[in-house]
Structure 1
Amino acid sequence: MPEPFVIDNREDSLFQVHREVFTSPEIFERERELIFGPAWLYAGHESELPRRNDFRTRDVGGRPVIFTRDRHGEVRVLLNTCLHRGASLCRHPAGNAKIFTCFYHGWAYRNSGELVNVPSVEDYAGAPTDVYRTLPAPRVESYRGFYFVNFSGDAPDLRTWLGTSAYLLDLAVDQSEDGIEILPGTHSYTLQANWKLLVENSVDGYHAKSVHHTYFEMMMELGQTPPMLGDSDTNGVPPAGLGTEFGNGHATLMYPGNGLPLANEAVTHNLAALRSRAVERFGESYATAVFDLARNTIFFPNFVLIDLNFGMILRTITPLGPDRTQVSSWQLTPRGLDEESLRYRIDNALTFWGPAGLATPDDVEALEQAQRGFGARREMPWSDISKGMGKARPAANDELQMRAWWRQWNAVMTGEPLPREVEEFIPFDVPVQQPQGA
């Protein structure tokens, strides 16, 4: 394996990542152990479990889990594997159940994890319910309705891990006085590329116009100013906005939201009403951050929140192999939207972020092309992520946010901490105001 993985040369403002980290099976296995074992991983949102005994099944960090609200109303994450022989306890994507029964041999568990029934128990010398008792449970903590799990016993608490990046979750939640909710439905797809490429891409403002030119050209032909493009844009990349880092590998890029593309008067009016109520609750500066700025955020290692006025999505990025990645995404929306505004957001999300939309296929093609290019890694071993390095405040189309993530990756994988590149600051000089009920 290459040493070092990362070159962080502050004197020459040069940042490089060795391309072997995108192809090596050994590095992939080390990531599963060192990154996806100790990290806080997004499991789900409280709005997905509105009633007691509701559940959702999904993979979290390569582990099959049941995200459920038990009969007492407590949110839990259960490993979706039977203590007996390992088969899945629940094969349904969602539902409502007090008991999960393994279809293989019929062992049954409460939705709080206790083993409660073993068929033909009289044939066992010792009672399995006494030997196994309950499913091992990962740590579960939440912040403002976002639930995370941790499979390590010595990780810091979630709030400490998030640090000041929790501000980005606040900005999403506070778009309505009633909070936010996940809309029904999941987009799930795979790509033939390393998972870290999609992490980079999710907070990459440099590629937007070149890769997504069809969308930008369509918007501009319709007289719209697309997100990320300002009036001073002359070369097809977004000069407006900036990137920043929040510690622990969490990072974001922020840029002008530029209103609501293709929205009618009613949708525009309804968004203005939400903003007006936010001003009353929090003041103008916080409402400006909530509604007038767009954000692409990565929470280390693999949880993405993309927050634009015309829609919000959550994305988890799960490695399946060195060159294969599973992506799951959900649409978020402020609670209490009128039907027309809700339909507008759904249409925009499908048109832009959907697996067959104007953005996602472009991104998949770019990342798979990069993965193919790594076949020449012996002759061309390094990828460059230096854009904007040395600036006091890197722009949205610079690469600070990717470097911040890579420094955390490098620290976890090698034990070598690398210092921050810039002093922490709140983007656009918007002061952090702790929202009511945070």
Structure 2
Amino acid sequence: MLDEKRIPVSQLVAPEGDKVLSEIYNDEQVFQTEMEAIFESTWIWVAHESEIPKKGDYKTARVGRHSVIVSRDRKMDIHVLVNRCRHRGATLCEEHKGNARSFVCPYHGWGYGQDGSLRAVPNPGPYEGVINKEDLPLISLRMESYKGMIFATFNDDVEPLEDFLGGAKKWIDLFMKQGGGYPIKTLGEHRFRFPGNWKIQLENTTDAYHFPIIHKSFISSLDGDTAEIFDFLEGDGFVEDLGNGHSVMVMIPELVDLEENLEAPIPERFKALAKELADEGHSDEHIRKLVRAAGGSGFNLNLFPNVACSMAFFRVLAPISVNETEIQHIAIGGDGAPSAFNKVRMRLHEHFQGPMGFGTPDDSEAWERVQKGSQSGKDQWILVNRGQEMVQKNELGNSYSTVCSEVGMKAAYQQWAKMMRESEKGE
């Protein structure tokens, strides 16, 4: 059983919001409270629509501690359903993805439609007058989507998704230009777990400070021109607080809008792609649009609390326990785009994010070390104050600072503290 004594949020986060106590990584009571106050109370990313393109397609995902099924029914409507039979609680789906005409419990054979309705109960006689099938559909979450990104929530009273996304919508729109003129679609994914708290990874996607240090091997694997692009700490990039815990880290400003500057010279690393596209008969304008989009956007967009649109892929986090987190890296390309374009996108993904790539193993070890270190010392603070004295306000009233500042982390922890405090008031 958990200790009923709970560390007040006021003690976990400094009044200025520029540092947090390391217990936020390793305190079991804090974790359990987060699951209710945050993951069961706000919008959680569960899928991209291209992952379930056909009738009967489904995927499983997590909303905090809960396993859910994201399904598309015969009418092509999307549903997010708790992955639990209404009879004895067994999970219905164990596969990550699939196509099914119905969901059947392996224990007693109760069958559910793609919309979650209870359709069949074997040997129904003894249930006569006991249950009504219409009263026992799978639990359905509220679901909304924006630009193909599907979010779900247990909280029926939460604000509309577009209001929650707020200032992040502009950046989602820009991110979705990576199809090179084609709609975005997912190309593949891989999942892994690391022995650390979910917030450690949340911080990472808005942390440019670590890039040239921990990712030296990745940078050394690049050609000179590309390596120069990734030398962005002294550039004109910035980190901006977008509200509601969301933030954007612009590392390569010239790659923010992939539909601009199409007349620029084709980079050396994409000349082979340009030639292959030309040989296939694509126009020069079409080729330039595809080549411009091939390398991804020049920014990371963090959407609180569980997904990032990170340069050229989706990164999704799922808390498993206070000291274990599952990460899902989803490669993206263009739906209907030339195969050469999508192939290059996949190779670039594998180079950095893939399980045998340069970036993911380095990041994972760093996250694990942070978790280990958080167990040492008493009343130790985690600092999120880099660039604090350089913070300015833009025309929207949003705080922003240099690209290697920790404005994004501070924004996330301010939202975290707000939601945790609201939970304290409700007790």
Whether these two folds match at TM > 0.5 is yes
SS in 1 for 2:374: helix
Q: Structure 1 residues 131 and 342, CA, compared in 2 at 3 Å: closer, same or farther?
A: closer
Partners in 2 of 1:41 and 1:26 — Cα distance? 21
Question: Do the aligned partners of 2:196 and 2:368 also contact (CA within 8 Å) in 1?
Answer: yes
Question: Do the aligned partners of 2:294 and 2:345 also contact (CA within 8 Å) in 1?
Answer: no
Match of 1:306 in 2: 310
**C-alpha displacement at 1:202, in angstroms?**
1.2
**Aligned ranges 1:257-336 → 2 under 5 Å:** 263-268=269-274, 273=285, 294-307=298-311, 312-336=312-336
Q: Structure 1 residues 318 and 219, CA, compared in 2 at 3 Å: closer, same or farther?
A: same
Partners in 1 of 2:406 and 2:268 — Cα distance? 30
Tell me the amino acid that sits aligned with residue 170 of structure 1: D
Name which of 222, 227, 234 aligns with 1:225. 227
Match of 2:243 in 1: 247
Question: Do the aligned partners of 1:256 and 1:292 also contact (CA within 8 Å) in 2?
Answer: no
Partners in 2 of 1:228 and 1:241 — Cα distance? 11
1:182 aligns with 2:178: no
Match of 1:381 in 2: 380
**C-alpha displacement at 1:71, in angstroms?**
1.0
Tell me the amino acid that sits aligned with residue 413 of structure 1: M
**Alignment identity in percent?**
30
Question: Do the aligned partners of 1:215 and 1:358 also contact (CA within 8 Å) in 2?
Answer: yes
1:404 aligns with 2:407: no
**C-alpha displacement at 1:241, in angstroms?**
0.6
Q: 1:182-228: CA deviations, max 9, x gaps?
A: 11x321111011110000011100000111011112325x5533544
Question: Do the aligned partners of 2:119 and 2:133 also contact (CA within 8 Å) in 1?
Answer: no
**C-alpha displacement at 1:133, in angstroms?**
3.2
TM-score, L = length of structure 2? 0.85
**Aligned ranges 1:80-159 → 2 under 5 Å:** 80-130=83-133, 132-159=135-162
Partners in 1 of 2:253 and 2:354 — Cα distance? 20
Q: Structure 1 residues 346 and 16, CA, compared in 2 at 3 Å: closer, same or farther?
A: same
**Aligned ranges 1:200-219 → 2 under 5 Å:** 200-219=203-222
Partners in 2 of 1:97 and 1:189 — Cα distance? 26
SS in 1 for 2:222: helix
Question: Do the aligned partners of 2:40 and 2:63 also contact (CA within 8 Å) in 1?
Answer: no
SS in 2 for 1:170: helix
Question: Do the aligned partners of 2:299 and 2:310 also contact (CA within 8 Å) in 1?
Answer: yes
Name which of 30, 50, 61 aligns with 1:47. 50
Q: 1:86-124: CA deviations, max 9, x gaps?
A: 111223332222211101000001111110111111012
Tell me the amino acid that sits aligned with residue 349 of structure 1: H
Q: 1:381-403: CA deviations, max 9, x gaps?
A: 10111111132241111111111
Partners in 2 of 1:355 and 1:156 — Cα distance? 37
Partners in 2 of 1:225 and 1:297 — Cα distance? 22
Q: Structure 1 residues 239 and 405, CA, compared in 2 at 3 Å: closer, same or farther?
A: same
Tell me the amino acid that sits aligned with residue 81 of structure 1: R
Q: Structure 1 residues 151 and 57, CA, compared in 2 at 3 Å: closer, same or farther?
A: same
Partners in 2 of 1:322 and 1:93 — Cα distance? 23
Partners in 2 of 1:256 and 1:132 — Cα distance? 54
**C-alpha displacement at 1:334, in angstroms?**
2.6
SS in 1 for 2:336: coil
Partners in 2 of 1:32 and 1:84 — Cα distance? 25
249-258 vs 38-47, which moves further: 249-258
TM-score, L = length of structure 1? 0.83
Question: Do the aligned partners of 1:226 and 1:258 also contact (CA within 8 Å) in 2?
Answer: no
Report how many residues are paired: 391
SS in 1 for 2:14: strand
Q: Structure 1 residues 261 and 188, CA, compared in 2 at 3 Å: closer, same or farther?
A: farther
SS in 2 for 1:354: coil
Q: Which consecutive residues of structure 1, in runs of 5 or more, have no partner in the other structure?
A: 231-236, 279-287, 417-438
SS in 2 for 1:174: helix
Partners in 1 of 2:84 and 2:245 — Cα distance? 31
SS in 2 for 1:375: coil
Q: Which consecutive residues of structure 2, in runs of 5 or more, have no partner in the other structure?
A: 1-6, 256-265, 393-399
Tell me the amino acid that sits aligned with residue 331 of structure 2: Q
Match of 2:259 in 1: none
Partners in 1 of 2:330 and 2:413 — Cα distance? 25
Match of 1:363 in 2: 363
Partners in 2 of 1:196 and 1:398 — Cα distance? 17
Tell me the amino acid that sits aligned with residue 141 of structure 2: P
